[in-house]
Amino acid sequence: MLLFVLALITQPAADAAAPPPAEPTFIVQPEWEKQPQGEDIMRLYPTDAVKTGASGQAVVQCDVLADGNLDHCQVVAEQPQGLGFGEASVQMAGLFKMKPVTADGASVDGAQVLIPLNWNLGHQ
């Protein structure tokens, strides 16, 4: 019984000694190998926004993989809300691909990137 109690007491101390997770590195000036084209924008433009002629913006945050592809993208800002610009921007983010190394030669693997997207039908 005493050994079991000792194990429980020492377990939290081992967890407390673990280092905190490293802060993610953000790539602030991404070099794109591939970007969406005009037909992609028209295909992904939110249907409700097209019906009302609305424009909008969204910012998406993504993890960057070693090959430059983006993963685990999520909306961090959207304006106006409720018209689908955030979800459309997440879909659009899947069409971006970064160069696998930055201008200074560092790998992009494990970094994060923010992608601001402006949506405009062009008839304002």
CATH number of the domain bearing residue 62:
3.30.2420.10
Q: Is residue 11 part of a domain?
A: no
Q: Domain containing 44: what range?
A: 20-119
Whether 112 is covered by a domain: the verdict is yes
Question: What tens digit of pLDDT does each residue of 32-73 get?
Answer: 999 999 999 999 999 999 999 999 999 999 999 999 999 999
Query: Structurally, how many domains does the chain consist of?
Result: 1
What's the pLDDT at 21?
65
Average pLDDT over residues 68-84: 97
The answer to whether the bond into 12 is cis (omega within 30° of 0) is no
The whole-number average pLDDT for the span 60-89 is 97
Mean pLDDT of the chain: 86
How far from 120 is each of 43, 78, 79, 108, 116, CA to CA, in Å?
13, 14, 12, 30, 13
Query: Does residue 13 sit within a domain?
Result: no
Residue 74 placed within a domain: yes
For range 15-19, the mean pLDDT: 64
Q: Please indicate, yes or no, if residue 113 is contained in any of the structural domains.
A: yes
Q: Is residue 3 part of a domain?
A: no
Give me the pLDDT at residue 122, please. 77
Q: Is residue 9 part of a domain?
A: no
Residue 124, domain member (yes or no)? no
In this prediction, residue 1 carries a pLDDT of 40
Is the distance from CB of 85 to CB of 46 less than 8 angstroms?
yes
Mean pLDDT of 69-88: 97
